Structure 1
Amino acid sequence: MSENDMMSMLNNMMSNMSMQNVSEEKVILKCVKENKRLRIKFYSFIDKYGKKHYNVYNKEYNCQFPREIRIENRYYAVPSNAIMLIEYNGKRPFYKIDETNIVILGDIFQRIIDENKNMVVYQEPECVICLSNMCQITYLPCGHKCVCNNCNTLDTCPLCRVKIESLMR
């Protein structure tokens, strides 16, 4: 199955599960086992043009996600605006997923992802603006880590266009 077929299938699945009135941008999450605990990790960010981006969220932060639907190696989809980066009282920041917008992706979709896991469209370890420096800035509230210190001059996130309220270095 091609990348376009996979995107079409994801769009249909999300539309059928009452996600029509949210941002076209999607985030694919995966449940993995780390130190005998099930953790939710960011798999990819799919922009409104259907391009997949990897490594645009800070992987050092935990992700608050319902425990009752966590199953190892299961994939989930959420609209990008259902993810918030929470930081308060000097504690370690974490991502919070709006539980009402989670779509559990079926076995067919998981098999397609596994078959295509070596097909990488965009890796974002370097700044999406200058393409030479490493990403150092995480934007709030979207949580994207996608620019270096030198290119941090924008009012909106270059990936999702959400207004930047604050940032973390």
Structure 2
Amino acid sequence: MSFTKLQEALISQAEADLTLLRARYAAEYARTEDKITRRARQAEEQIIRSAEAAGEQEAQRLHQSAQLTARADILRAKQEEITAAREKTIQEILAWPAAEARAFIAALLDRIPVQEGIVTAGDAHAAIVRELASARGLAVADKEITDDGGFVFRNQRTELDATVRRLVTDLFRRRRAELASLLYG
């Protein structure tokens, strides 16, 4: 065989081998590309599912937070209404005409279990308390309770807080359910 024919045979064989290698490489490349594309799609779908789940959880959290905030705001507003109603009741009692205030203070003084002690008057009813307490033989303190009516009675064993603020506050506390029903019923 001549050198030229040998050379042509080698080149021909090399080209055939190269064509075979290219075909194998192209097939392997296609399989690898398909595998990578499939994995990328799966990863993308997983990321989307995770993001959707996280988004739903965050939306639920925000919704619950908004509901709790709204409930807290409603409760705060209701409490402010009750506080305003209590304060209005106190102011109305402090503004009663003298005859009504006198009957009110007399009824409170009748609740004092003993005759020995000191009565400290609220400034709104000071004159009435001084008059009625003195008539019952009770000592009256010179000092008055500012911005309140009624009185506080004290001795060594007993203290009776019969100030208007204390009485109304206690009444509102005991009747909380009824008040809420009346206000928001």
Determine which structure has the larger helix proportion and give its number. Answer: 2
Q: Same fold (TM over 0.5)?
A: no
TM-score by length of 2: 0.22
> Which structure's relative contact order is higher, taking Cα pairs within 8 Å and 6+ residues apart?
1
Greater fraction of residues in strand: 1
Please tell me whether Structure 1 or Structure 2 has the larger radius of gyration of its CA atoms: 2
Structure-1-length-normalised TM-score: 0.24
